[in-house]
Structure 1
Amino acid sequence: MTEEPAPILDERTLEERILAGLDDEQRTVATTLTGPVCVLAGAGTGKTRAITHRIAYGVHSGVYNPQRLLAVTFTARAAAQMRARLRDLGVGNVQARTFHAAALRQLQFFWPQAVGGVIPGLLDHKAQLIAEAARRLRLASDRASIRDLAAEIEWAKVSMLTPETYLTHAQDRGEPGGLDRTAVGRLFQAYEDVKTDRNVIDFEDVLLITVGILQEDPRVAATVREQYRHFVVDEYQDVSPLQQRMLDLWLGGREDLCVVGDASQTIYSFTGATSRHLLDFPARYPKAQLVKLVKDYRSTPQVVQLANSLLAARRSAGLSADAGWSPPLHLEAQRPAGPVPEFVECSDDEAEAAAVAGRIKALIASGTPASEVAVLFRTNGQSQAYEQALASIGVGYQLRGGERFFARKEVRDGILQLRAASRATAGEPVGQLVRDVLATLGYTDDPPQSGGAVRERWESLAALVALADELVASRDSAEGGFSLADFVVELQERSVAQHAPTVQGVTLASLHSAKGLEWDAVFLVGLSEGLMPISFADTAESVDEERRLLYVGITRAREFLGLSWSTARTPGGRANRKPSRFLDGLRPNSTRSPGSTGKGSALNPTRKTRKPAAPSTCRVCGKMLSSGAERKVGRCSDCPPSYEEATFDALRQWRLQESKEADVPAFVVFTDATLVAIAEARPQSTAELSGLPGVGPAKLERYGEAVLEILMTDSAS
């Protein structure tokens, strides 16, 4: 019997299925299937919708072979979401991966023929090996400094630097982990040696080695280029030099590339990301089609206006900074009007957390689901006050960046039970089956009245139930329906990608980790100078990035937006904090301060940004200083100290308390030499404090305000 050809969809039917509901600009993206395409997409403008419909339209119209197209994004969660959308559009066989996942897949396949032998193990975390490298070099280190050093090594590697070339390219990198550049370069080499001894590679090595193989082995490069003919890159403003090199090698001079990004959402420069590749795309590809998506479907006009105003308020900060600032896209709100953003000033951090918690409780009482509320802050250390404030009024929360959803015991147990049940059940409604199975683990239709671990366990199970209902609604119409076995497969895929379902609780997250997410109600907290912009943002470029970070936070909100700050750190403390300069002209009864680019401002292009070098001679007697401790205080041990004993004692008592709470030795907080330097210099601002040896960015962020408060209190007494 002759097999009948598959039915061919006519153009009208295809457009109805794939292009319906797209606006004119999104439709242009979806129907421009060849040649280089650059999509500048503002926050909330439907960029993922546009590019997934582009892929689906290309596959269904026969322009793309789904096995020969690679869609690349930057997080496993984003890649999983893209795969889910593509599956819903009938093109689930298109690959959507992160750069690292795509490179690892290629490295594992080509390693035997390109290198030979067994591929080294993949290192999950650098901390242990960096600590060992530090011990080999007899360098002092603590948990915070190791974290900073790991980030510095990652920056160096994605910038394609070696331990030998690091010194010449890290002139403006400060002192990561409290070490000078020479010491960091030595540690970098020692870390590489430790990896070699252990026969492991890290995530950056995956890209570096794959790039090396593609550069050196023409056969491998030809195979990859034959496999992939079309490329789509999302979040292109976050591409690092190493990732761009990988992309160039994949392309091999071809131009079947579509990139999507927004320079105003570049917030990962400290990791090596740069928006230059996005901004220079039209110059690199003169024939590129340029499309701008500016219709904001996410946020109310009030939120959109605030976001636009924040970027528009930026003023010239010198030739170098201005060259790195791209004119922002002006978003056009498409949603109905909503509430005016609320600006709240509080007396201290505790009062701010209580005020925000109370406002959240009122929102939940008026019908906003807890899962649609987020509290976003600049540093993770700010979360504790909001955890306590929410817990005290009985509002559940989830800390983004804490324990991963699929690592929770109740979730792992639930998946095991569902897998077993899928072998014995068939034909029954999936939603009810999931409820029945998870009931054995404590799930009930109504949430428990108690809080704590019981409530958290219930919320995890409830998230699985809600996901089952969501998938049934979206996929049950497909041929064959949606079974419990299909649900288990979906959970397994999401577990690998860490694509967690929604948990019913208020989200607490840093501004960086909120990228790519959105909520009905968002609270941006701690918006005071020193936290936003952060105190160690001491160049015009870094302050610009802080402005973009706040912009990302604002554009996470769909309807309600609250912005708050406090005037003191602790109850009864001196009210010496000021609202963030970014709020000047935005909050009620405020004007844009002309001093935002003046003396003492981080936007001042003439301001010196490097720490002054420690003196090599005693400032009292002129004798050469021989030890690190002497150089820290700028005084030889023979000359008497010039600090008040009471001040030094107060600093030591504070250090002892901090070390006990953190369960670390006292010198990990600050050495005696650093405390002496602080007591003698008596800095009056974070800028002055940061100029003292031994006070790096990490310690300034963690301890700066507390130290200044001690000095001010001591002066007052």
Structure 2
Amino acid sequence: MENYRSTRHIIAAANQVIGAVVERMKNAHPICIDHARKADPAGGRWARQDPVTGGRVHVLSVPDDAIGQAEVVMAELSRLKSLDVSADWSDFAVLARNRATLEPVRAWCEWQGVRYSAERDDGQPRLHQVREGDTLLGLLRAKPRRRVRPFALRRWFNLRFGGGDADHPWQALLAQFVDEVESVWCGEPRVSASVVIDALHEFGNEARRSGRGRLVLSTVHGAKGREFGYVAILDGGDWRENSDEERRLYYVGMTRARELLLLCEGAGRTNPFSPGLQGESFCRSPLPVSLVRPLELGLRYRSLGLRDLFLDYAGRWPPGAAVHAALADLDFGVALDIQVSASGEREIITDSGVVVGRLAKNCTLPRGKIRSATVESLVKRQAGLVKDPDYRARLRAESWWVALLAIVIEPEPGAVNIQREPWR
């Protein structure tokens, strides 16, 4: 069977890993590079471009702690990115067995200002669900049979959002949609409003999946079916079981890489797969002699989705209540506070003291002190979507906004390993 994606070095490494699987049907016929690339260097273009690895699979010794590992791995990925002027962070993926191992890498991205795409569940909104997209939908739905001039959307956007804020993710995404409408229908004098509505929904779904310009942080499970130019597989001490199932999963992670593959080996709790890899397709790097673990890598970041919030909070107040006016004044990046009420509820409060929401009872946050809570998006909730008759009976508004939050948590003292000797 031919591989049309990875370099010969990556294919050889993956074959060594999967070759140990008991009774594997394809053992007699290992995967090989496709015929069109057989004459290419085993390391692809990186055989000459990278003086350190020469395009070989890089087995990198890392500290046992996730923070030290993140510092070492991201230093290496940054080095690789600097060697390719055309590289974009979306060409890179950091994969792990479990999400917890990725946390310090996410903190590194926040610290260094690197945009990233992390696995999110269905509780996170699409463009058409947030206030920016809903504003356009409201305009289009008012006259669904109306035919819209493509350039008129740009004029509306500029008037409504003052041309847009590049640092405001939802305005920037809506601006991309307006650009797409102008590009796709540039030869059409008018387009049906219903067609634009459908396009907005589809664009929102695709944009959520694309992660353009963002470093990908994912579990190996979550990366199935995807491919990236450069892949690093972390060793968080969680690749413990040397079973066929785990070996197949590790193999899946390895074969996500097209050009370069980085395999981490923990200093004391090494994964059971990479230590036995041998041959000319590999190069190995030892632990750093010393390593500084920035305190910033100990911070934990959470994006609270719809599942993390009590969605009906504002809906239990009449339209003229202060909560609705306060929600209308919120926007991306506005700071809020989370306080525990006398009844034990975790309430979301504005700087003027108005309670605008509440965390769900089953919302679990990492232990530690909340350093900041800011608005990430505002999603409209409709009374008609509330199915439970008891909850529906308590509503006093037909629609209301729900603020989704980005939370930064400072871990409890002693919870972060800031030792400088990575082997301890």
TM-score by length of 1: 0.32
Contact 1:307/1:551, CA 8 A, preserved across alignment: yes
Equivalent of residue 554 in structure 1, options 237, 250, 254? 254
Question: How far 1:390 moved relative to its partner?
Answer: 2.0
Contact 2:148/2:191, CA 8 A, preserved across alignment: no
Q: Relative contact order: is structure 1 or structure 2 higher (C-alpha 8 Å, sep ≥ 6)?
A: 2
Question: How far 1:397 moved relative to its partner?
Answer: 2.0
Question: How far 1:299 moved relative to its partner?
Answer: 3.2
Contact 2:150/2:191, CA 8 A, preserved across alignment: no
Quick check: 1:314 aligned with 2:20?
A: yes
Contact 1:373/1:522, CA 8 A, preserved across alignment: yes
Unaligned segments of structure 1, at least 5 residues: 1-291, 316-320, 449-457, 568-575, 591-658, 664-715
Equivalent of residue 263 in structure 2, options 548, 556, 563? 563
Pair 524,489 (structure 1): closer, same or farther in 2 beyond 3 Å? same
Question: How far 1:414 moved relative to its partner?
Answer: 2.5
Equivalent of residue 58 in structure 2, options 336, 342, 348? 342
Equivalent of residue 545 in structure 1, options 239, 242, 245? 245
The aligned counterpart of 2:6 is: 299
The amino acid across from 1:584 in the alignment is G
The alignment partner of 1:406 has SS state of coil
Counterpart Cα distance in 2 of 1:489 and 1:480 = 19
| Equivalent residues in 2 for 1:419-458, closer than 5 Å | 419-422=137-140, 426-429=148-151, 432=154, 436=158, 439=161, 443-444=164-165, 447-448=166-167, 458=168
The aligned counterpart of 1:513 is: 222
Quick check: 1:588 aligned with 2:304?
A: no
The amino acid across from 1:330 in the alignment is I
Contact 2:226/2:256, CA 8 A, preserved across alignment: yes
Contact 1:375/1:522, CA 8 A, preserved across alignment: yes
The aligned counterpart of 1:636 is: none
| Equivalent residues in 2 for 1:453-492, closer than 5 Å | 458-466=168-176, 476=185, 485-492=194-201
| Equivalent residues in 2 for 1:241-640, closer than 5 Å | 294-296=2-4, 298-311=5-18, 313-314=19-20, 321-322=22-23, 326-327=26-27, 330-333=31-34, 334=36, 337-339=44-46, 340=55, 341-348=57-64, 349-362=66-79, 366-402=85-121, 404-406=123-125, 412-422=130-140, 426-429=148-151, 432=154, 436=158, 439=161, 443-444=164-165, 447-448=166-167, 458-466=168-176, 476=185, 485-493=194-202, 500-526=209-235, 530-532=237-239, 535=240, 537=241, 543-567=243-267, 576-586=268-278, 587-588=282-283
Pair 412,589 (structure 1): closer, same or farther in 2 beyond 3 Å? closer
The amino acid across from 1:521 in the alignment is Y
Question: How far 1:325 moved relative to its partner?
Answer: 5.2
Counterpart Cα distance in 2 of 1:434 and 1:551 = 50
Question: How far 1:387 moved relative to its partner?
Answer: 1.6
Give the total of aligned pairs.
Answer: 265
The aligned counterpart of 1:143 is: none
Percentage identity across paired residues of the two chains: 20
Question: How far 1:353 moved relative to its partner?
Answer: 0.1
Pair 494,470 (structure 1): closer, same or farther in 2 beyond 3 Å? closer
Contact 1:430/1:483, CA 8 A, preserved across alignment: no
Counterpart Cα distance in 2 of 1:589 and 1:372 = 23
The amino acid across from 2:31 in the alignment is H
Counterpart Cα distance in 1 of 2:108 and 2:157 = 32
Pair 493,524 (structure 1): closer, same or farther in 2 beyond 3 Å? same
Unaligned segments of structure 2, at least 5 residues: 47-54, 286-363, 369-423
CA RMSD of aligned residues (A): 4.3
Question: How far 1:548 moved relative to its partner?
Answer: 1.6
Question: How far 1:362 moved relative to its partner?
Answer: 4.5
Pair 588,487 (structure 1): closer, same or farther in 2 beyond 3 Å? same
Counterpart Cα distance in 1 of 2:156 and 2:78 = 30
The alignment partner of 1:304 has SS state of helix
Pair 302,495 (structure 1): closer, same or farther in 2 beyond 3 Å? same
Question: How far 1:549 moved relative to its partner?
Answer: 1.2
The alignment partner of 1:585 has SS state of coil
The amino acid across from 1:355 in the alignment is V
The alignment partner of 1:395 has SS state of coil
Higher strand residue share? 2
The alignment partner of 1:416 has SS state of helix
TM-score by length of 2: 0.50
What does the per-residue CA deviation read over 1:598-645, in whole Å, with 9 as the maximum and x for residues that have no partner?
A: xxxxxxxxxxxxxxxxxxxxxxxxxxxxxxxxxxxxxxxxxxxxxxxx
Contact 1:468/1:487, CA 8 A, preserved across alignment: no
Higher gyration radius (CA):
1
Pair 358,295 (structure 1): closer, same or farther in 2 beyond 3 Å? closer
